[in-house]
Every structure is written in C-alpha cells, then in structure tokens.
Amino acid sequence: MKFSCEKAILQSAVLIAGRVVATKSTISALEGILVEASEDGLCLSGYNLETGIITRVEAQVTQPGSLILSARLFGEIIRKLPDDVITVSTEGNSVHITCGPTSFDIMGSPADEFPELPAVDDGSSVTLTQSALRSMLSQVLFAVSTNESRPIHTGALFEVEDTTLTLVAVDGYRLALRREPFIRKFGMNTFSFVVPGNALTEVERICADSDEEIIVTLGDRHVTFQVGQTLLVSRRLEGEFLNYRQTIPQNNPISLHVDTSMLQLSIDRASLIINDKLKSPLRCKFEDGSLAISSRTAIGSAFDRCPIAGNGQGLEIGFNNRYLMEAVKAAPAQEVRMELGTPTSPCLLLPKEGETDNFLYMILPVRLKAGE
C-alpha cells in the first residue's frame, strides 16, 4: 500500500473513524483503524463491535492495499506532522510515514484481523438537516437509561410519522421527547426503531451545525447514519419500548410559565448543600407569582425564590435536583410552560401556549418527608 494525502484531510478522517475505536481491548485489532487504499481513494474504518464508522477521503494512491494501524499512535503522528502532504507506504506489516524532513516507522496488523462491519440492506429512510438531528440528540440523550436491566431503554426511540421525526428517551424517573419536521422520507409511511445511546452520542458528534443532510436508514438489525462521505453503522435494540403516550398526564390543573435561566440558577443554589452522600429532594412550593425552592441536609439549609407567571395554588412537590435541572437545561426555550397536578403526579415542561409543540420533558416527583 502506498498513498499520499494532505495532512488536514487525513487528520480529520482519522479523528472521525477513531471515535468508535476501543481504547483498550483484548483484541488489538479493535484498537486500530482499518486503512484501505484503492483507486477510489482512501477508506478508514473504526469498529467496536457495536458501532462502526467508515469514512472516505480523496488521496493519491500509487499502490492499493490495506492494513490496520493503531488509532491512538497513528492519530498522534498525523496530528503532530507539519501541514504538508503525508506519504504512507507499507512493506509487509511495517509502515513508513513521511512528511517533509520527518519520518516514522511503526508496525501495523494484517487487514484480515479487522472484524467485519455488518452489511446493511437499504430499507426505509428519513433525511434531516445535521443541525436539527444534532440539537434533538443533545436535548434527549441525557434521559437515556444506564440501567442494563431494561436494555431497550438504554437507547432512544425514533418515530417517523407523517411529516415529523420524534425522539424519546426514558429512564424510570423521567422522559425527554423532541420532535422536528424532516426533509423527506423513503419507504414505509410510518416506522420506528431504537438506537443505543452510545451510538447516538457519536452521531451527535459527527453532525455539524449545518443545513447539510443526514440520512438515517433502517436495516433489519442495524441502522445507518450517512453524513457526506462518512457512514455510521449501529445495531438496533430489540424489545418493547415504553408506550410513552400513556404515561403523560393530561388535563393538569396547574399551568404556569417560567424563565428557564432563572429556574436553573435557583435549582443550582438550592442544590449546593446536596451531594452524593447527603441526598435530599428539592422542596418546591408553587405560589402565586413565585416558586420557593428549598433543601435541607446535614450540611445546612438553602432557600431560593424564582419568579413564575401564574398561580401554583400552593402546591408543594419534591424533585431530585439533578433530574429537574437536566430537564430544565435541555428544554429548548427561554420560557417554558410547567404543568402540575398533585404532589405525587409528574411535572411536565412544555412549549408556551401557541408555540410549536416540539418538546416535552416529564419528571417524576419524590415523596417529601416532614423536615426535608
């Protein structure tokens, strides 16, 4: 194998393919990037047996071939080489990398040791802008469960309907839902699938904040995300995802509006005396025009007041401070509607009346004991 490529191009490709490479594995090939040079250019692949990334770049290939290179070492070398054309040539498993006066000799592994990436048949697909999917993911993934006892909830649900894609994540204590119109779809009229949270974290990273497209294609057991010359392949999670529509309370008697930045500051302050050892719920008392947040632990007590628009009718309700904070932070609006029922029914964060119905966060309350 022998090829030449501009440093910036090669560096960006190694970074992308390297994202899913295992940092430490008993199978050394899994710590590597598969580099394949052919007449069509260069193809770099990383694969951790769950998520794979294949990215293609242009390169001047003078001798086709393939080899596995350590993702860490190859990445470091490329990063530190001068901004110039890099030439990579191999002889057996040894690799010679040169750029200007600088050169490296390192060892690679035979390409056939690289695990085969799953082949994905073309199925139904949905296309969105990268920026839309990126913001949806960033506002939903925090609520993906990390509890392996319900594997299906360690992923996020994609629901493709008439004109919109809905993403949902749940973890037993909360639910996050984001909805956006897509550009186009292909295949079935409605379809849904669940993608592991870890893979989606990588999807979020390969999405730029741009109007360029990302195509999400459903295979039998896998799903692919295509961004320009980069393809991410992930397995799908099998099982029954929560019938989330049934869990969302309707006709909540209390509805009020709150500024999310102000509420974040109040939660932050009232959480100061709570830590991993000294857990305590936030006691939220929704009054007429203001929300009183307080907490009490062995360290001491904290009290803050946040303005609200509306009357909370004196409802006192307890929340896990982290869950409430993460929902308020994720909600994509400066001002949100809060809907509440009783001290034991979930709290909803929603868009203001009359605004696009594109998000919903639900947080289950914590039962308050006297003195908390």
Residues of this chain that bind its own copies (CB under 8 A): 73, 76-77, 80-82, 101-107, 265, 268-269, 272-273, 299-305
Q: Which is nearer to its own copies, 204 or 287 (CB)?
A: 287
Collapse the DSSP code of 93 into the 3-class scheme (helix H, G, I; strand E, B; otherwise coil) and give the result. coil
Nearer to its own copies, 312 or 346 (CB): 312
How would DSSP label each residue in 271-293? TTT--SSS---EEEEEEEEEEEE
| Smallest gap from residue 106 Cβ to its own copies (A) | 4
Which CB atom, from 81 or from 237, has the smaller least distance to its own copies? Answer: 81
Residue type at position 59: A
Q: How far is the CB of 272 from its own copies (least distance, A)?
A: 6
| CA 360/CA 74 separation, integer angstroms | 44
In whole angstroms, the minimum distance from the beta carbon of 274 to its own copies comes to 12
Smallest gap from residue 162 Cβ to its own copies (A):
45
Find all residues with CB under 8 Å of 246, minimum gap 6, and list them: none
Distances (CA, A) of 160 to 70, 164, 203, 218, 229: 39, 6, 18, 11, 24
Helix, strand, or coil (residue 78): helix
Instruction: Name the residue nearer to its own copies (CB basis): 107 or 188.
Output: 107
Shortest Cβ 23–its own copies spacing (Å): 14
What are the b/e assignments for 63-81, b being 16+ CB within 10 Å? eeebbbbbbeebbebbeeb
Of 90 and 130, nearer to its own copies (C-beta) is: 90
CB of 298 to its own copies, least distance (A): 9
Nearest partner of 54 among 3, 19, 28, judged by Cα: 19
The minimum distance between CB 314 and its own copies, in angstroms, equals 18
Task: Give the length of the chain.
Answer: 372
- Least separation in angstroms between CB 176 and its own copies: 25
Asked if residues 16 and 103 have their Cβ atoms less than 8 Å apart, the reply is no
Q: Nearest distance from residue 102's CB to its own copies, in Å?
A: 5
Whichever of 110 and 253 has its CB closer to its own copies, that residue is 110
Q: Are 197 and 144 in contact (CB under 8 A)?
A: yes
Residue 326: in which H helix or E strand, if any?
helix 321-330
Phi–psi pair at 187, nearest 5 degrees: 95, -140
Two tokens, residue 145: 């469960």
Residue 73 or 242 having the CB closest to its own copies:
73
Q: Residue 186 or 303: which CB sits closer to its own copies?
A: 303
**Contacts (Cβ under 8 Å, ≥6 apart) of 276:** none
Q: Are 171 and 145 in contact (CB under 8 A)?
A: yes
Cα three-residue angle 86-92-93, rounded to 5 degrees: 70
